[in-house]
Chains A and B, each alone.
Chain A
């Protein structure tokens, strides 16, 4: 094991990973060398950051332009009462520092958009879409697919959640939902409310997918949309296929997010 350069503290900290054949010291080294970008440090991002940090993912980028509000604390479990008013990226970094000194947090205090997404995602092995709006979700899908970076997608609504994993070679988010609903069509959490523990369940699924992708183990949730209904306590999986006409991953793809208007339906320009 020494040739994998895990020190004694790490062998202890990650012993429950290392003891399993499916992870082992090699898998743990992959996690420690791994770079994951979490887009959004809110309800979904909180458990994602928590578990990736605990797992020893060596570098976690956190992109978010918000500050912690008291109304976040019912579900955003990495932020505390004393963090109200603090940028979420800073609060997230402080949380991770306390949890695991092996992990470096890269703080991106910005709103992910077409102007910054390509340079932002380029440095990461896996991106977790824990954002809270369609524009960011489409821009992350498009940029990551063009850069061939896998995305662990999750989204929530009141008592329901959707998760899927977008891997190069498989269908992308636009294959499933070609365009976003017009703004105002699907209400957001601030309008509708959300069960506090709901993003915990979905975020843990996203974190699981990110870990599997990093250690190259198991089957990613690719080409399948997982529905979770907290009220029914039911999980359903629906298959979906790559769309040959998809403007991002189909036969004649766009070359840059510059070709997309990220307003309204986030449609690809027909020119």
Chain B
């Protein structure tokens, strides 16, 4: 599966896409794997309690996971996952 990162999240991570080879069962597993080796991104995405910040959306194949099972949403090897924040420039 692959993570796609938008706006300042991509800059914080230093890349727009991250392919995961790890065995992940859920979106939460895939998020942990993404963030585990990227402390700056982890600090940007998670709040002090370890929850995904309110303004960051997590998508699985174009669907917001928080309208369904959240981070417990199961993932398949060919899924595309995405993290996007709002932007404010005008």
Contacts and interface: CB of A to CB of B under 8 A. Distances in A.
B-side interface size class: 20 to 34
Interface string B54-90: 1101010011100100000000000000101111111
Given A160-B7, A239-B62, A177 B89 contact: no
A156 B88 CA distance: 6
Contacts of B84: 227, 238
Interface size class of A (residues with CB under 8 A): 35 or more
A181 B90 contact: no
A241 B85 contact: no
Nearest to B87: A157
Nearest to A267: B54
B64 A180 contact: no
Interface stretch (A17-25, A98-106, A117-125, A129-137): A129-137
A20 to B, nearest CB: 31
A186 B87 contact: yes
Contacts of B89: 43, 132, 155-158, 188-189, 192, 194, 199
B58 to A, nearest CB: 11
Contact of A181 (B6, B59, B86): B86
A180 B90 contact: no
Contact of B8 (A180, A187, A194): A187
A199 B87 CA distance: 13
A155 B90 CA distance: 6
A162 B87 contact: yes
A44 interface: yes
Nearest to B90: A132
B90 A43 contact: yes
B53 interface: yes
Given A177-B55, A178-B55, A227-B84, A157 B90 contact: no
Contacts of A157: 7-8, 87-89
Interface string A22-33: 000000000000
A240 B65 CA distance: 10
B8 A186 contact: yes
Contact of B57 (A45, A155, A160, A176): A176
A40 interface: yes
B87 A156 contact: yes
Interface in A22-77: 40, 42-45
A162 B63 contact: no
Contact of B88 (A155, A178, A236): A155
14 contacts: A43-B90, A133-B88, A155-B88, A156-B90, A157-B8, A177-B85, A178-B54, A179-B55, A180-B88, A186-B86, A189-B90, A239-B62, A240-B57, A240-B64
Interface of A: 40, 42-45, 130-134, 137, 154-158, 160-162, 176-181, 185-189, 192, 194, 199, 227, 236, 238-241, 265
Given A155-B86, A157-B88, 15 more contacts: A40-B90, A154-B90, A155-B89, A155-B90, A156-B89, A162-B86, A176-B57, A179-B54, A189-B89, A199-B89, A199-B90, A238-B59, A240-B67, A241-B64, A265-B55
